[in-house]
Structure 1
Amino acid sequence: MEISSLSGGAGVAAGGAVKLIVDGNLGKLARWLRALGCDTAIHEGRADRYLLRRALLEDRIAVTKSRRLAARPFRGRLILIAADRWEEQLAETVSSLDLSFDARAVLGRCLDCNETLSEVEKSTVEGLVPAYIFETQAAFRRCGRCGRIFWAGSHAERMLRVMRSRIPSRLP
């Protein structure tokens, strides 16, 4: 993923990839950020202060809707989200970080686990995907953590359309 305005510091990995951690109540936003290729952890359970601690330990940018959490002293970077709908939250997050995306990174992470997907030989997924999908798709990717298999079907096209409608100037 290309990062246009972040060149280092909290939440920026080597090579310029952004790393985020979001509140558990921003799970839908997290899945869409993952679809864009962002390394996005979800903080579930436990007190909010642990989200900030985890952000520092994992060198991630914290993303929250909690004004109370945003008011706490924090040495890292934090984005306070104002929007209630995930579509607006996505646009707000991307705009706050001034992100632009590499086409290779989009749809390159597991939406459930956050792991980077690996390309696999078509023959290795026979019997693991519906027969019609196996016959009509040429390329498959798999999550190394959960084993979920992904392909560029109509769902991927719909997701790209949604992303382009929400953040049109940021996608290739």
Structure 2
Amino acid sequence: MSPLRLLCDEMLFRLARSLRAAGYDTVLAADGAPDRDLLERCRREDRVLVTRDRKLMAQALPDVRAVLLVDEDREAEARALSRALDIDWLLAPMSRCMVDNTPLSPAGPADLARVPSTVEASPEAVKVCRTCGRVYWPGGHVKRLMEKLSCWAREARD
């Protein structure tokens, strides 16, 4: 895993989910969290701040590593972040829960029983979040997300 750890401001929840799906330890700021708390967490946990908030960005520098994103389109955000931080969008795909950032674990029998019977996936390909209980399998949603991450990885290389 990469030592790069991120903290996304509350406006970047979709990007945070994509970063988690790529394997990055990415926390999302709580709605309305005071700027000073976010900056302190970045310092304490050695996280890179990713924000759209120019005021927060100005407060962060120079003691917190930070990236300001100016576009509100996730595709543009991903490209800008790739340039700024050399993001590997295929670092460790689907190794973290997209919702709560917990590392995923292999699925047990009870978890496998929750996978739709129409899914053709090996038991080893099914993962579970031990915090929230979500089960991830290589189905349509994950397949579409992996295609998106692969596209961003190709763009970053080019």
Q: Normalised by the shorter chain, which TM-score bucket?
A: 0.7 to 0.9
Distance 1:110 1:42, change over 3 A: same
Q: CA deviation at 1:164?
A: 2.4
CA distance, structure 2, for counterparts of residue 126 and residue 35 of structure 1? 20
Distance 1:84 1:73, change over 3 A: closer
Q: CA deviation at 1:109?
A: 0.9
The count of corresponding residues between Structure 1 and Structure 2 is: 153
Over the aligned positions, Cα root-mean-square deviation in angstroms equals 1.9
Distance 1:127 1:119, change over 3 A: closer
CA distance, structure 2, for counterparts of residue 106 and residue 72 of structure 1? 33
Superposed CA deviations along residues 20-56 of structure 1, whole A, max 9, x for unmatched, are 0010011001001111111100011222222111111
- The one-letter amino acid paired with 1:79 is V
SS of equivalent residue, structure 2 residue 144: helix
In the alignment, structure 1 residue 58 sits paired with structure 2 residue 45:
yes
SS of equivalent residue, structure 2 residue 99: coil
Residues 21 and 43 in structure 1, CA contact (< 8 A), matched pair in contact too: yes
- Which sits farther off after the overlay, 94-103 or 51-60? 94-103
Superposed CA deviations along residues 93-146 of structure 1, whole A, max 9, x for unmatched, are 12211133555x11111000101111124x33243232323xx22131111211
Match of 1:137 in 2: 121
CA distance, structure 2, for counterparts of residue 106 and residue 126 of structure 1? 20
CA distance, structure 1, for counterparts of residue 90 and residue 72 of structure 2? 27
Superposition pairs of residues 1-172 of structure 1, within 5 angstroms: 1=1, 16-44=2-30, 45-74=32-61, 75-100=63-88, 105-121=92-108, 123-133=109-119, 136-138=120-122, 139-170=125-156
CA distance, structure 2, for counterparts of residue 155 and residue 73 of structure 1? 36
Unaligned ranges ≥5, structure 2: none
